[in-house]
Amino acid sequence: MRTTISIADDLYTEAKELAKGRSFNDFASEAIRESILRLKRAKLAQEMEEGYRAEATASSLDPDWAGFEVEGL
């Protein structure tokens, strides 16, 4: 998809230097892709932590199964 963005001159200059022979478009696409992946991972980690904390305070385990959870320890 073709789009137009505005970025600071110093950011563009540094990105061009780091692109190492790749086009700016390829470099920017890779940077955005990596940023999206990092943000998704951070969001998943936060959701998992929240779930673990919620489970620790109020177990969703059926009481009939609670003994089996301890037996394996």
Q: Is residue 1 part of a domain?
A: no
Q: Quick one: pLDDT at residue 52? A: 87
Question: Would 61 be classed as within a structural domain?
Answer: no
**In this structure, what are the phi and psi dihedrals at residue 56, rounded to the nearest 5 degrees?**
-70, -30
| Total domains present in the chain | 1
Question: Residue 63 falls within a domain, yes or no?
Answer: no
Position 22 in a domain: yes
In a domain, 73, yes or no: no
CA distances from 65 to 43, 59, 61, 68, 70 (A): 31, 11, 7, 5, 9
Q: Give the tens place of pLDDT for each residue, 10-24.
A: 999 999 999 989 999
pLDDT in tens, 29-60: 999 999 999 999 999 999 999 988 888 887 77
Residue at 23 is within a domain: yes
* C-beta separation of 15 from 28 below 8 A: yes
Residue span of the structural domain in which 25 resides: 9-56
Give the global pTM: 0.68
Of 4, 24, 5, 7, give the one whose Cα is nearest residue 15.
24
